[in-house]
Amino acid sequence: MFPERKPGRLLSYGKTIPSSEGRIAMSLLCHENDPFGIPSPIALVSRMLESLSGLSRCSRIYTEIGEQREGLDFFTTVLEHLGVTYGVADEEAARIPLCGPAVVVANHPFGGIEGLMLLDLLKRLRPDVKVIANAILCRIPELRDTVIPVNPFGSREAGRTNIAPMREGIRWVRGGGLLVIFPAGEVSHLNLRRREISDPKWNDNLARLVRKSEAPVVPVFFKGHNGPLFQLAGLLHPRLRTALLVRELLNKAGRHFPIRIGKAIPWKKLNAMARDDEMVGYLRLKTYLLGCSATAERSEPGSVPVGDEPVIPARQPEILAGEIGRLPQSQLLVDSGEMRVYQARAGQIPYALLEIGRLRELTFREVGEGTGKRYDLDVFDQHYTHIFIWNREKSEIVGAYRVGKTDEILRQMGKKGLYTHTLFRFRTRVFEQFGPALEMGRSFVRGEYQRSYAPLLLLWKGIGQFVAENPRYRKLFGPVSITRDYSDLSRQLIAGTLQETLSIPEMSRMIKPRMPMHVRRVRIKGCARASTRAVMSDMEELSSMIADIEIDRKGIPVLLRHYLNLGGKLLAFNLDPNFGDVLDGLILVDLMETDAKTLGRYMGKQGVAAFRAYHENLSAQSLADCA
């Protein structure tokens, strides 16, 4: 539907062609009776060209549509006649603004059928839709109210004649309409250097249109590409590709096409990008990421792998209440209404610890992890401190963390006393550089409380109070899980981005994973690595990109995001086959480098002031000792 255009400025497509060819091409506009006819003084030549190109069949289809060629029904009728269907998720269709100014950008894999489907979809949602497209399409009367025509042939006058369509498009959007643009200007084709079939470079004038229209942009992705003959023809000469576009439209008959629609990108966000090529690269990345929708096999949430033992029954509430009620008042860290946060050692809470182990296993199994045993407890639980939330009204444990005081554990048991030693090999110098630190791990919030961020916040207020009471612990470290519930692509993107942007190389060299994951450079099809890296270095953008990939639209793991907000750095990655092939990222947080306002949410202003004063005094004392 949208014949191919050469790359270049939106106002002047491609290279100049001989004026005679331009006149013949534009003369196609004049044949009202048969919009698909090729003008030729020799009827036989005309019929041969029409047959080879598929135009004769298009002409028959157009005739057969007959009386149903009015308004909205035209696109629907053509698709029905071809037997073409498309599918789009309701939640994604809802991302198209139903009114007000908007720009829709899409990749251009086929050169025809995607335009029909997109216009059919959009006109079902709102009537005020136009598309910037080849002026030849205006030969079809039903398209004249929809197409803003441009001259794609690159003649010397094209630059001047296309200024008006550009202005018309901007006026249309600023007047509250929706405008569709295929920024490539030509159909996706084989790129031998990149060894892929994708759109050629998107036109930077897209950015100028977006800036002037002041409208949000919605990315749309169509999966697929034209066949081998089309690709081979293009290698011989680009115009041979163009000659096959109608045939490619017709050979899509009887097929079903999925359509992916991304979230609308606010105009202010796009306009803040300094360079036009930066904005266009970002829009292209957001579009092509929609084609990376997770399809990898993974454990379904809540599924029970073969061989898992049944989880033990819950402990009786009155037994748990009695046990926790006997804890000293000094071990109460936070009192918040019906919720309380305690710290305790294993010997103080044998039944509560068993319940923690039961809840750990249930919670981890829900995301495809878990030990597969009746409960999740190990030898480290016996000498670690447990920080947990107790709902005193319901007499139930809500969530918990396991915390190891590394200075005490290393002194009494050596490195083997640390859980992280089972995942990573540490040189002794690492812990000398850490100083007194807390190893964090085995955190969970039970399923029915996960709808709110409040339980995790409360747990961390407990941890903040624990640190305030033990201010020598300046650093926190531990494994943060990226489960098999994420696709391989998402795991690679998260791991690769963190390694590239948030690692501490000199420290990472002293830590080796026991089962390393090969983190490879991930390249999104159709996108340059440079633009991908630039976007992914922002954690909010990374999370948004992961959400575009994942079927359930989740971003980066909540706990990982939390550590990164605290200023966490990545030390290493390890695969844990004993825990559902989870990918563990070893994260280090230096609380003295955490933003004071952020730290204050968990320690309070006075707690932060006292904590910082403690370490500033230590530093001053160390300097005095060295003097």
Q: Averaged over 554-565, what is the pLDDT?
A: 94
Q: What is the pLDDT of residues 504-543, one digit of tens each?
A: 999 999 999 999 987 766 667 777 666 666 676 788 888 9
- Which domain-ending residue is among 240, 264, 292? 292
Residue 305 lies in a domain: no
150 and 15 belong to one structural domain: yes
| Domain span at 574 | 408-626
**Residues 312-334: what's their mean pLDDT?**
97
In this model, does residue 176 exceed pLDDT 90? yes
Mean pLDDT of the region 378-386: 98
How far apart CA 459 and CA 387 sit, in angstroms, is 8
Within a domain: 134 = yes
In a domain, 157, yes or no: yes
pLDDT level of residue 597 (50, 70, 90 thresholds): very high
Which range, 4-13, 101-110, 128-137, is most confident?
A: 101-110
| Same domain for 43 and 184 | yes
165 domain residue, yes or no: yes
In this structure, is residue 380 part of a structural domain?
A: no
Mean pLDDT of 9-33: 34
CATH number for the domain that contains residue 263: 3.40.1130
Query: Per residue in 297-311, pLDDT tens?
Result: 343 444 444 468 999
The answer to whether 165 and 149 have CB atoms below 8 angstroms apart is yes
Average pLDDT over residues 130-139: 85
Do 288 and 416 lie in one domain? The reply is no
pLDDT value of residue 234: 63
Q: Give mean pLDDT, residues 586-596.
A: 97
pLDDT, tens digit, 9 for 90 and up, residues 247-269: 777 788 899 999 999 999 999 99
pLDDT at residue 207 above 70? yes
| Closest among 166, 92, 104 to 129, alpha carbons compared | 104
**Is 88 inside a domain boundary?**
yes
Query: Residue 178 has what pLDDT?
Result: 98
Find the DSSP H helices in 275-397: 276-289, 317-325, 350-365
Residue closest to 376 by CA, chosen among 345, 394, 415, 402: 402
DSSP alpha helices (H): ranges in 111-184? 113-125, 158-161, 163-174
Give the per-residue pLDDT at 11: 27
* Cα 169 to chain centroid, rounded: 30
Cβ density class 109-147: b for 16+ within 10 Å, e for less: bbbbbbbbbbbbbbbeeeebbbbbbbbbbbbbebbeebb
- Bridge partners of 191, per DSSP, are 196
Say what percent of the chain tops pLDDT 90. 58
pLDDT digits (tens, 9 = 90+) for 24-79: 333 333 344 455 554 544 444 444 444 445 566 767 777 777 655 555 478 888 89
Of 262, 292, 322, the residue that ends a domain is 292
Q: By the 8 A CB rule, do 438 and 475 touch?
A: yes
Query: What's the rounded Cα separation, in Å, for the pair 419 and 177?
Result: 59
d(CA 169, CA 310): 63
Is residue 2 a part of any domain in this protein?
A: no
Number of domains in the chain: 2
Residue 26's Cβ-side half-sphere holds a number of Cα atoms within 13 Å equal to 17
Q: Is the pLDDT of residue 170 over 60?
A: yes
Mean pLDDT of the chain: 84
Alpha-carbon torsion, ordered 271, 275, 279, 280, to 10 deg: 140
How confident is residue 374, by pLDDT bands cut at 50, 70 and 90? very high
Is this structure's pTM higher than 0.85?
A: no
pLDDT at 530: 63
More confident residue, 295 or 597: 597
**Within a domain: residue 462?**
yes
> Could you tell me the CA-to-CA distances from 504 to 434, 440, 498, 499, 568 in Å, in that order?
13, 19, 10, 9, 10
Does residue 48 or residue 175 have the better pLDDT? 175
Q: What is the structure's pLDDT at 616? A: 94
Distance between CA atoms of 57 and 283, rounded to whole angstroms? 36
Instruction: Single out the residue in 292, 322, 349 at which a domain terminates.
Output: 292
